[in-house]
């Protein structure tokens, strides 16, 4: 797995387009939120900023990059090549996705640390880690499912839009309006419960047991996405 | 050497939707042999190979490689090398990185430099795959297939797009692997390669094994051919053999006893002071077996 992962990392860093969309853009956008944290905290809360950063990075840095990468490796038959070795399918996918997951994890950690330094520290760091991990898991599972519907890296520019823009919209909606109204709907939408969990972790004031219940919808999306991925994922281009 | 087949295919069927690509196909490949799976376009060879290689599940039937299901990658893959028909390398990795990565993942060990040297790609080691020519990509593919000297090697059109030197180099490497006991499964459109090298040939047509056997077994069912041209205006004495003669004086004689009939013909030409222009005689070629498929 590590040999696939390290070759994947080399490929990411050699491909300028991927590097820009997966690393530079999310970091620039997130840096803007951190710099303007007073404005956005007024709109929602610091927890809202944390959530929007989390989803900006996981939607573009992780989700979109993962879908594009998988579609591209399939299109040039690299997936088929990997499958002609002794590596199992799980090892291959884990190896291919590990670098983008780690890169996204590092970005989220670095930027949230910056937010904590310039503004104020989160109330419950452990809960924030849980929220981040669950979100990474949901986005990578959605990426696997979306990759099944994506024919080429170019096609990924279209197929990734509903989920990437969707989760960011949901995060903004939940982050700005809270969950006093339409709580069930907001929590069931992908990213809704994760946003609330992130806000609770950062802002505090909610019992941890209540917060942990919010993990259920996110993990539910993981299950749904993995189930879809097992039906939709293809290793070779259509012919 | 063990006589247990390396590959066993029994009653294999493969369908894509309505299309029945492979029908009740059975064959086996024995240790140390070079088995050529040949066929017309769309005959089902690639589909068959993909099932045997473990890239595709059969619709029905049994396939065993070294006694295991091809799905059992841990058991099967370290013992086999695969040269795919289409390259499938990442354009952003270098030649050395590609061989190193795929080689390591096969579970075999080898020296990347040795393998690159074997396919004459040492000078391209630091180049990205995107910069390679078509022939160089085929050699890269061959390099990953022979990495770690596997017991079984699949060569799917190995020499397509290669110049004659590279083609010879590939076959020299294959010969060396065979001296060490490797089993080879070959598909190719260059029939003379199969004719020269295959121990046995499976000839596929419309999803079934149309014929199977050694080159001699396949060709001896068809006659050998003698061709020559007789000078047009001269009223030639009657030919000693059954022949087809066209208006330009081109003669074609089909025979199952080439040596005897050729001797007879040459004697006749000598006696009549005939000049047999463009005389050519040869055994039946695999091409002719192919052409006869549809008849």
Claim to verify: residue B30 and residue B136 sit in the same structural domain: yes
Cα distance from A161 to chain B (closest Cα, Å)? Answer: 26
Closest alpha carbon to A146 in A233, A216, A61, A79: A233
**pLDDT for the residue B273:** 86
Query: For A159-165, what is the mean pLDDT?
Result: 96
Cα distance from B64 to chain A (closest Cα, Å)? Answer: 16
**Number of structural domains chain B divides into:** 2
Q: Quote the CA–CA distance of B224 and B256 in Å, as a whole number.
A: 6
Claim to verify: residue B135 and residue B39 sit in the same structural domain: yes
Residue B274 lies in a domain: yes
pLDDT tens for each residue of B2-53: 678 999 999 999 998 889 999 999 999 999 999 999 988 888 998 999 999 9
Chain A residues in contact with B86 (beta carbon < 8 A) = 77
Which H or E run contains B205?
A: strand B200-205
CB contact under 8 Å between B74 and A88, yes or no, is yes
Interface check A86 vs B, CB under 8 A: yes
* Boundary of a domain, candidates B219, B240, B261: B219
**pLDDT for the residue A11:** 92
Per-residue pLDDT band at A43 (split at 50, 70, 90): confident
**pLDDT for the residue B127:** 96
pLDDT at B184 > cutoff 60? yes
Per the CB < 8 A criterion, the answer to whether A8 and A95 are in contact is yes
Q: What is the dihedral of CA B270, B274, B275, B278, to 10 degrees?
A: -90
pLDDT tens for each residue of A66-83: 999 999 999 999 999 999
**Number of structural domains chain A divides into:** 1
CB contact under 8 Å between A78 and B89, yes or no, is yes
Question: Where would I find the beta strands (DSSP E) of B106-199?
Answer: 152-156, 183-187
Query: For B44-66, what is the mean pLDDT?
Result: 93
Give B258 or B85, the one with higher predicted confidence: B258
Per-residue pLDDT band at B162 (split at 50, 70, 90): confident
Claim to verify: residue B117 and residue B184 sit in the same structural domain: yes
Interface check A70 vs B, CB under 8 A: no
ipTM of the modeled complex: 0.88
Chain A's closest residue to B87, CA to CA, is A77
Residue B2 lies in a domain: no
* Boundary of a domain, candidates B178, B200, B219: B219
Query: For A42-59, what is the mean pLDDT?
Result: 93
Q: Quote the CA–CA distance of A45 and A176 in Å, as a whole number.
A: 8
Interface check A88 vs B, CB under 8 A: yes
Interface check A80 vs B, CB under 8 A: yes
pLDDT at B165 > cutoff 80? yes
Interface check A85 vs B, CB under 8 A: yes
pLDDT tens for each residue of A80-131: 999 999 999 999 999 999 999 999 999 999 999 999 999 999 999 999 999 9
pLDDT at A239 > cutoff 80? no
Query: For B280-293, what is the mean pLDDT?
Result: 82
Interface check B87 vs A, CB under 8 A: yes
pLDDT tens for each residue of A164-179: 999 999 999 999 998 8
CB contact under 8 Å between A3 and B104, yes or no, is yes
Q: How many residues does chain A have?
A: 239
* Boundary of a domain, candidates B171, B187, B219: B219
pLDDT at B234 > cutoff 60? no
CATH code, domain with B204: 3.40.50.300
Which residue segment(s) compose the domain that A226 sits in?
2-232
**pLDDT for the residue B235:** 62
């Amino acid at each position: 797995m590590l040999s696939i992962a390290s070759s994947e990392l080399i490929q990411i860093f050699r491909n300028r387009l991927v590097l820009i969309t997966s690393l530079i853009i999310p970091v620039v956008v997130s840096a803007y939120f951190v710099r303007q944290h007073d404005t956005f905290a007024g709109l929602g809360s610091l927890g809202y900023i944390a959530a929007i950063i989390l989803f900006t990075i996981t939607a573009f840095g992780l989700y979109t990059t993962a879908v594009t990468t998988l579609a591209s490796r399939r299109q040039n038959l690299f997936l088929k090549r990997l499958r002609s070795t002794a590596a199992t399918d799980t090892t291959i996918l884990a190896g291919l996705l590990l670098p983008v997951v780690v890169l996204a994890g590092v970005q989220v950690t670095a930027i949230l640390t910056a937010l904590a330094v310039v503004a104020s520290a989160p109330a419950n760091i452990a809960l924030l880690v849980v929220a981040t991990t669950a979100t990474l898991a949901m986005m990578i599972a959605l990426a696997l499912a979306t990759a099944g519907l994506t024919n080429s890296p170019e096609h990924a520019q279209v197929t990734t839009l509903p989920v990437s823009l969707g989760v960011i919209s949901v995060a903004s909606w939940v982050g700005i309006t809270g969950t006093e109204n339409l709580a069930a709907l907001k929590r069931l939408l992908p990213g809704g419960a994760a946003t609330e969990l992130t806000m609770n972790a950062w802002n505090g004031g909610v019992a941890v047991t209540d917060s942990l219940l919010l993990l259920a919808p996110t993990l539910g999306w993981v299950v749904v996405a993995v189930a879809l991925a097992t039906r939709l994922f293809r290793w070779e281009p259509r012919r | 050497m063990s006589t247990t087949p390396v590959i066993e295919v029994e009653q294999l069927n493969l369908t894509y939707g309505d299309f029945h690509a492979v029908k009740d196909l059975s064959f086996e490949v024995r240790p140390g042999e070079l088995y050529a799976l040949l066929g017309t376009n769309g005959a089902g060879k690639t589909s068959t190979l993909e099932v045997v290689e473990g890239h595709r599940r059969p619709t029905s039937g049994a396939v065993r490689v070294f006694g295991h299901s091809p799905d059992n990658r841990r058991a099967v893959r370290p013992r086999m090398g695969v040269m795919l028909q289409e390259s499938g390398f990442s354009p952003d990795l270098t030649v050395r990185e590609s061989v190193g990565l795929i080689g390591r993942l096969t579970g075999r060990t080898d020296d990347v430099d040795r393998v690159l040297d074997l396919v004459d790609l040492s000078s391209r080691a630091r180049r990205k795959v995107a910069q390679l020519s078509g022939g160089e990509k085929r050699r890269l593919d061959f390099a990953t297939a022979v990495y770690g000297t596997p017991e079984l090697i699949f060569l799917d059109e190995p020499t397509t797009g290669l110049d004659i030197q590279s083609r010879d180099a590939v076959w020299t490497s294959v010969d060396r692997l065979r001296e060490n006991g490797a089993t080879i499964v070959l598909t190719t459109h260059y029939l003379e390669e199969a004719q020269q090298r295959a121990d046995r040939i499976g000839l596929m047509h419309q999803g079934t094994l149309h014929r199977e056997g050694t080159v001699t077994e396949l060709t001896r069912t068809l006659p050998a051919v003698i061709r020559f041209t007789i000078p047009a205006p001269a009223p030639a004495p009657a030919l000693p053999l059954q022949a087809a003669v066209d208006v330009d004086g081109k003669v074609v004689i089909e025979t199952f006893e080439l040596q005897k009939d050729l001797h007879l013909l040459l004697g006749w030409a000598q006696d009549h002071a005939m000049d047999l222009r463009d005389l050519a005689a040869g055994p039946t070629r695999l091409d002719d077996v192919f052409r006869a498929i549809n008849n």
